[in-house]
Each structure stands twice: as C-alpha cells, then as structure tokens.
Amino acid sequence: MSNPDHTDLRILAILPAEGKLPCQELGEAVGLSAPAAFQRVRKLETAGVIVGYHARIDPQAAGKPLIAFVHVHPGPDAPMPQLLARWRRAPAVLECHRLTGADRYLLKLRLENVSALSAFLDGARRAGCTVESELAVETAFERWVV
C-alpha cells in the first residue's frame, strides 16, 4: 500500500475512538458508501496500517491506578534479550523504548501499588541493571491515535 490518502487518514482518525462504528456510519462520516468504507478498512488492515482492535479499560476500575516510568540502565552483564522478552510478557509493562545516548530503556508501567513497583525494580536490579523510577501524580491526557 502506498501512503494513506486523505480519506484513509480520516478513517484512521475516527477508528481509534470509535472502533465498533458500523461501516455505514463510518462511510457517512468520510463520504463513502458502506461497502467502500469496508473495503478501505480491509485495505488498511491488509497493509498493516490497522493492526488490531482493542477495548479500552479504565485502569482505576481494573485495580491498576499507579503509573510508573522506569529508566533502566543495563550493566555489562545484563541479559538484555531475556529482559526484553520478560518485559514483553509482563502485563504491567505498557511500553518499552530504547533511548538515544547511553544504552538505556524507558518503560511505562501500570501497577496495583508501590509494592508491585518495588518488586519490578528489584527484579531489574538482580538482572544487573541500574534503575530509576518516577511516579505519575496525574495524567492530564492520553492519546490513542497516531
């Protein structure tokens, strides 16, 4: 697929907030028939632009009110492939980014409490990493669109 056109971009702006929107309504919103809107969405899925549909869960209601940002500085003996695999499987790790500059990672975690954060940090330290953490005191907003 070439770059998304104006209509594709409009569809991509609508779907993150309205993932269950019927094709009829999506088509009306972007000036297409329902079948044409369906075909556009399928094309975006096939091209890997749309990679899935997800339910947004209220973290407070799900018992995970704590947001932590963790800077991980791997030591020379830290088993990074294994750590990355562990973090990928850990439900608390929402995001993991390798940063520029010194070899380090920034993780965003969603946790039940400070004890869960402490356990996570202890595990990274045992694996040979230096860690620094910060807690979010408020989330002004979060975006779910690109």
Q: What per-residue string of b and e applies to 60-89 under the rule 16 or more CB within 10 Å gives b? A: eeeebebbbebbbbbeeebeeeebeeebee
Residue 96: predicted pLDDT: 98
Q: Residues 114-127: pLDDT tens digits?
A: 999 999 999 999 99
Residue at 59: amino acid letter: P
Specify whether 25 is located in the same domain as 74.
Answer: no
CATH code, domain with 117: 3.30.70.920
Specify whether 42 is located in the same domain as 71.
Answer: no
In a domain, 143, yes or no: no
In a domain, 145, yes or no: no
Give the orientation angle of helix 6-14 with respect to helix 34-46, to 10 degrees.
90
| 3 state SS of 27 | helix
Residue at 73: amino acid letter: H
In a domain, 142, yes or no: no
Q: Which of 7-16, 30-39, 137-146 has the highest mean pLDDT?
A: 30-39
Give the orientation angle of helix 23-30 with respect to helix 34-46, to 10 degrees.
90
> Domain range spanning residue 98?
66-135
Specify whether 79 is located in the same domain as 130.
Answer: yes
Q: Residues 1-14: pLDDT tens digits?
A: 678 899 999 999 99
- In which band, very low, low, confident or very high, does the pLDDT at 17 lie, cut at 50, 70 and 90? confident
In a domain, 42, yes or no: yes
Q: Residues 54-111: pLDDT tens digits?
A: 888 899 999 999 999 999 999 999 999 999 999 999 999 999 999 998 889 999 999 9
Residue 1: predicted pLDDT: 65
Residue 54: predicted pLDDT: 83
- The structural domain count of the chain equals 2
In a domain, 60, yes or no: no
Residue bearing tokens 């850990």: 90
Residues 45 and 97: beta-carbon distance below 8 Å: no
**Taking phi first (over 0 means left), then psi (-120 to 50 degrees means alpha), and beta for anything else, what does residue 111 get?**
beta
- In which band, very low, low, confident or very high, does the pLDDT at 39 lie, cut at 50, 70 and 90? very high
In a domain, 140, yes or no: no
